Structure 1
Amino acid sequence: MILIDGKKIAAEMKQEIAAEVAIMKENGEKTPHLVAVLVGHDGGSETYVAYKIKDCEAVGFKSSLIRYEDDVTEEELLAKVHELNNDEDLDGFIVQLPLPKHISEQKVIEAIDPKKDVDGFHPINVGRMVIGLPSFVSATPFGIVELLKRYNIETSGKNCVVLGRSNIVGRPMSVLMSQKANNATVTVAHSRTKDLEEVCRSADILIVAMGVPEFVKGNMVKEGAVVIDVGTTRVKSDKTKSGFKLKGDVLFEEVAEKCSYITPVPGGVGPMTRVSLLYNTLLASKKTIYK
């Protein structure tokens, strides 16, 4: 069993991005600028945005954080989105999810200019990705594809089961794996799938994005499978200073011994999601996707 080290690959990608940014600065080009909009004080969101700011500093990006309390109105937030759309100094921005219940996440996503949608959530970017046009690809699916590529894991002709169908991970992941660059035969499974254990056992590559801690057990994975665990659920723990620990969607102790490759949680997909956002911001700065 080989542990897929997302931290190591993300560090390599950061070095590549930083080198490119250094050349841009030497040539007198504009420094890439990423803005994060954070609403409320969700613990996971606070941590994630803090990491994003550190990541920007590490590669030489300019970064800005805009904060709102969780009682901000939908109208106020949408007004800020429109303001950011028209700000020529910034190249990309994200509105950190989840948002408070009184704000429509879909409305906010659709209000973002697709040219600055470095999260890759806007329907225009999703649509372009589906038909194979240049687009900003959602950070987690992009990061997973990059992990498979950099570990030289064969995807062509392989049976790939994507467990989960969210718009952020499951659906785009299934499209990317079926495209010519990867050439996998893809099955999308979920909580209503019949004979779910059997479907999962058919996978040469199993990508798990259910959001249910330790959902996938040893009996759901065949010998030699590649398992990518996207899950990051905070579970209370009296063994850590923070009072919680992260658990994946895969019961690692049972599954790992059967795998050829597996991602750990933490340290697998998470760092790749963060570095993929940087990569999208670099593309936005260089006008690579939208000329």
Structure 2
Amino acid sequence: MKTLNTDGIKDTLVDKLTSHKFTNKILLLSKNPTSEVLHYKKAIIKRCEKFAIEYVDYEFTTEKPEEILAYINSYDKEDGYIILAPFGDGKDLALLKDNIEIKDLDAFTYKAQGHAMEGSTESLPQTARAIVRFLEEKYSSLKGKNIAISNKTTTIGKPLAMNLLTKYATVTIITRHTANQKDLIKNADIFISAIGKANFYDKTYFTEGMLVVDVGTTYLDGKIIGDVDYKSLEGMDIEVLTNKRGIGALTTLMLLESLI
């Protein structure tokens, strides 16, 4: 097993953010945040402080959707925001997705999602954009690549699949109801997992010569565990981008890059 990393991309992003003087701010918006949301928010705040970016950390409680919308739109249109999911119910989200006017940093609005579905990499949610950035750095072309994605969310799987299709890759989205999952994954050139189940995929899912991109995160005993059982892959001729020094190391940096 060969372990890959995103250190080179990370260094480029750090240089870009360090050299830029930010005059706009980022809104970190949450509602009854989970422990995962709090962990991610803490990581964003740490980056903001490093690059001298002003941020607003705001937690909503009982506000009506119209009040939430008015609060967000009270900021300058060059300010950016991220809605930290889960955030309210479908009715809340539909109103916000249709009417937020300031800079959308994580493809939350229907407008941004539409651009992403048409193949705009810059309009992708940040995790999906980081995956595309990594794949484009590794391969001169994704044309003809057989790619399997284990995630069907609107923040990773769906927009990522549509973007890769515009690059002429052949894409399969795997859900828990997909039959013959092992065969589908073994036949892929690239497998991308983001299911949040610790050590779920072992060597029986993979074949020699594949690239595995592990985006999954599960918090166990204070540690972050990926979806892939790396120990079982030892001795295989396989490349793995693990959840350490991988996609997660890029997402907060690329989020802040979108402010520029």
1:40 is matched with 32
- The structural deviation recorded for 1:151 is 3.5
Q: Is the 8 A contact 1:81 1:111 kept in 2?
A: no
Show the 5 A alignment for 1:1-291: 1-7=1-7, 9-19=9-19, 21=20, 25=21, 31-60=23-52, 62-68=53-59, 70-84=61-75, 87-88=76-77, 90-100=78-88, 104-113=92-101, 116-132=103-119, 135-152=122-139, 155-180=142-167, 183-235=168-220, 237=221, 244-255=222-233, 257-258=235-236, 260-282=238-260
Q: Over the residues paired in the alignment, what is the CA RMSD in angstroms?
A: 2.5
Segments of 4+ moved more than 4 angstroms: 100-103
Alignment partners' CA distance in 2, 1:97 and 1:7? 27
Q: Is the 8 A contact 1:165 1:190 kept in 2?
A: yes
Q: Is the 8 A contact 1:217 1:255 kept in 2?
A: yes
Name stretches of at least 5 consecutive residues in structure 2 with no aligned partner: none
**CA pair 9-174 structure 1, distance change in 2 beyond 3 A:** same
Q: Does 268-277 or 102-111 show the bigger shift?
A: 102-111
Q: TM-score, normalised by structure 1?
A: 0.79
- The structural deviation recorded for 1:220 is 0.8
Q: Deviations over 1:127-155 (max 9, x none)?
A: 11222357521101110111223334753
**CA pair 103-214 structure 1, distance change in 2 beyond 3 A:** farther
Q: Is the 8 A contact 1:201 1:220 kept in 2?
A: yes
Q: Is the 8 A contact 1:41 1:70 kept in 2?
A: no
Q: TM-score, normalised by structure 2?
A: 0.87
- The structural deviation recorded for 1:40 is 3.2
Alignment partners' CA distance in 1, 2:79 and 2:237? 40
Q: Deviations over 1:54-79 (max 9, x none)?
A: 2233334x322232254444443233
Alignment partners' CA distance in 2, 1:257 and 1:16? 38
Alignment partners' CA distance in 2, 1:72 and 1:156? 47
Alignment partners' CA distance in 1, 2:83 and 2:59? 11
| Structure 2 letter corresponding to 1:11 | D
Overall identity of the aligned pairs, in %: 25
